[in-house]
Amino acid sequence: MQNNPRKSIYTTVSIDKETGRLIEKICKRYSLKKSEVVKLAFGYIDKAHINPADVINNQGKQIGSLLQLQKNDNARLLKLISVYSELATCGVIPPTY
């Protein structure tokens, strides 16, 4: 990172332990300070015009869609089992053991 000739004023940011471990892992991997990781990450988010709220909302929508697909698949599977059972009871399909 570039050294700025002006004196920086620092503030504290509270993060959970899991995020702290992730930052420490990145610091060790790339020989960076925690403040450098945070500054670079936010600079990237800003330059790439990423809205973190959109990312979270999109993930929620995707999870909702996947849950709906799973629910539909389960309903189809239950229907298939029911039809198969009826056919086996009628003797159309020989029972499997």
Residue-wise pLDDT for 36-94, tens only, equals 999 999 999 999 988 887 877 788 888 889 999 999 999 999 999 999 888 888 877 77
Please state, in angstroms and rounded to a whole number, the distance separating the CA atoms of residues 6 and 37: 20
Question: How many structural domains is the chain composed of?
Answer: 2
Is 27 among the domain residues?
yes
Q: Which domain holds residue 37?
A: 15-50
Q: Is the pTM of this model over 0.85?
A: no
Yes or no: say if 37 and 26 are a contact pair by the CB < 8 Å rule. Answer: yes
Yes or no: say if 82 and 89 are a contact pair by the CB < 8 Å rule. Answer: no
Claim to verify: residue 44 and residue 55 sit in the same structural domain: no
